[in-house]
Amino acid sequence: MRLFGSFVLAASLALALATGAASAQDKKLKLGTEGAYPPFNYANADGTLGGFDIDLGKALCAEMKTECEFVVQDFDGSIPALQAGKFDAIINITITPERAEKVDFTHKYYQTPPAIAVPKDSTLSGTSPEDLKGKTLGVQSATIHQNFAEQQYSGSTVRAYPTGDDARADMVNGRLDAVMDGSIILTEWLKKPEGACCKLLGHLDRRPRHPRPRRRHRAAEGQQGIDRQAQCRDRRAARQRKVQGNQRQIFCIRRLRQLRPTTNAFGSAVRRSRFYEDGDFLGRTAFPFYNSIVGLGATMGRVGGDFISARYYSGIADEHLNTRENVGVQDLSTMGKMDIKGPEAEALVNHVIVNDAAAMKPGQVRYSTICREDGGIMDDLTVFRLGPEHFMLVTGSVNRLKMLPWLLHHAQGRKTYVTDITAAVAFPTIQGPRSRELLKALVSDADLDSLKRWSFASGRVGETKVLISRTGVTGELGFELFVPADEATSVWDALMRTGADFGLKPYGVPAMFTLGLEKAYPAHGIDMDETHTPFHVGLDRWIKFDKGDFVGREALLKVRDKGLDERWTGLILDGDMPAATNARVLAGDEDAGVITYSDHGYSLGKVLATARLRVPFTAIGRELSIDIDGTPTRAVVAPMPFFDPEGVRLRA
């Protein structure tokens, strides 16, 4: 089901003209799905259907007060079945001009690039048609991947299979050199035992851009079918909808393109993190500050697998600039907190991180990455040494779901235990030049003037004991608080009351990213992932090779000794429009690299970007070009960080 373009809900034009007068409220809505394309749609062990598509369909039916029925249909026969009236709509199919001649489409609700996977021992190093010339490439039949492969990879032998699983099985058995599919599908498959043989070669350089077909005239008797399509479209356009029965939240997912202050909040969060671990996107668990934050008018979104969090309050620019000028607060409770205790806690932590846990004293914090055996970054995190045999790892919100089993795996046979305490600990971060002033007025039993960066101490807010860490990801003087979840509300209320005298305003995830972009802090899932090492994003300074063995050490030594073909590089763009993630960067007609993230640098009044560029194009001042919505835009290589390069504000 075909991640090349966008996922859409397709309603047949023929059906629209033939539909009778029954209303959407009293007629069952039948939705066609393959039921074999995890994590979007799949069959559970009990035979029921699950996945993002299924939850989205149920949400739409609940909003429309319509009974929902899912009909399983092989993908290559889905459009004929739709036209024959087997179901009313197909959920999850890509927009193409050819299909637009047969079916009509709602707005697209998800988009992700295609990718190519190969065996780990493959000698292939690129995804271009020239790289795969003479190779055998597997795709799923009747998909846009098949069309693209046959058109663009004419020098390769393209084999079509009934399902993506069939194609991947042939690659595992040595009958294919590579497989093309959606990046999310391949990434999820590679995490499973059957995918352990293989690796992601990379995302494709180009993807087709299909123009949205013009709406065609419909006869009056077809209005009922058109009304139903419009109802689905209206529901998805809403920023936030409550799914009846289980009190979940559903959010609109728009184009994964540049952020603007008016962009749908959850859509921007998806662009930044690419994918949420369970592929569900429907929040289940309210974090400790939920009621307080909703009361401030926050726009909410889903993060971390089973939490919902704040995206916007007053708008990105206002939140960003207030944090730079006064003080801002963000709730980071969705970030993972892994408690590690025992006689061999230090040995475990030192084995899985690239930094040196043995060199830490109680009360200290260290930044580090955790890498796979092949050197790919699983996550970046902060390590807190709470005692001689006691550590806490603070992981990314999304990645916490995979970090617990990873840590438990490496803890086997060691005298230590690992506990996910995420839900038990609230985690507000207070950032900005007035953050120390505010906390000195709020916190007792703590000497904040002597608290150094990368260290923590205990204190009290009222009667609540808290841990206060001088850390953060904004590039400002800042502090992070760890608060018992059952006492979080009183701490938040006290913080907001005290903060009113210091210009305190809350900020959301997009503002966090723009603040981090100015400081060139790479974000996992966009600037780095499991296909890149710390060397690829300038994090090699945290690797302590001399500490001895750790996961990924040998692979990282090879990267260090060989050197890099590309570097993570800063760009300043002309104009006022950020570039799209994965947009190509050109040097004349030559391919220079790809954008990882672009947005407004509100503190600088400029549009900024980070990119993976081939080494010959990384010289400071080099002029390059990026296509932004069809317009060639000048981009100049700039030193990073863009803002406060000497780190004066951090050390205030």
Domains of the chain, each with CATH number or no CATH = 7-111+211-237 (3.40.190.10), 114-203 (3.40.190.10), 248-333+427-515 (3.30.1360.120), 336-425 (3.30.70.1400), 565-652 (2.40.30.110)
**CA dist., res. 181 & res. 307, Å (int):** 29
What's the pLDDT score for residue 303?
58
Counting as low any pLDDT under 50, the low residues of the chain are: 1-26, 206-284, 304
For the chain, counts of helices (H) and of strands (E)? 17, 36
What's the pLDDT score for residue 302?
64
* Separation of CA 245 from chain center: 28
Neighbours of 220 (CB within 10 A): 6
Angle CA 291–292–294, to nearest 5:
65
* Separation of CA 17 from chain center: 40
What's the pLDDT score for residue 112?
65
Location of structure tokens 């040995």: 347
SS3 track for 187-223: HHHHHCHHHCCEEEEEECCCCCCCCCCCCCCCCHHHH
Per-residue model confidence as pLDDT tens digits over 395-404: 998 888 889 9
What's the pLDDT score for residue 489?
93
**CA dist., res. 381 & res. 241, Å (int):** 33
Neighbours of 533 (CB within 10 A): 26
- Could you give phi then psi for residue 478, rounded to 5 degrees? -165, 165
**CA dist., res. 593 & res. 615, Å (int):** 9
What's the pLDDT score for residue 107?
61
**CA dist., res. 240 & res. 295, Å (int):** 15
**CA dist., res. 157 & res. 168, Å (int):** 16
**CA dist., res. 431 & res. 478, Å (int):** 4
Say which DSSP state 504 is in: E
What's the pLDDT score for residue 221?
28
Find, among 281, 274, 237, 15, the residue nearest to 106 by Cα. 237
CB burial class (10 A; 0-12, 13-18, 19+) of residue 22? Answer: exposed
What's the pLDDT score for residue 111?
61
**CA dist., res. 517 & res. 6, Å (int):** 27
DSSP notation for 160-181:
EESSHHHHHHHHHTTS-SEEEE
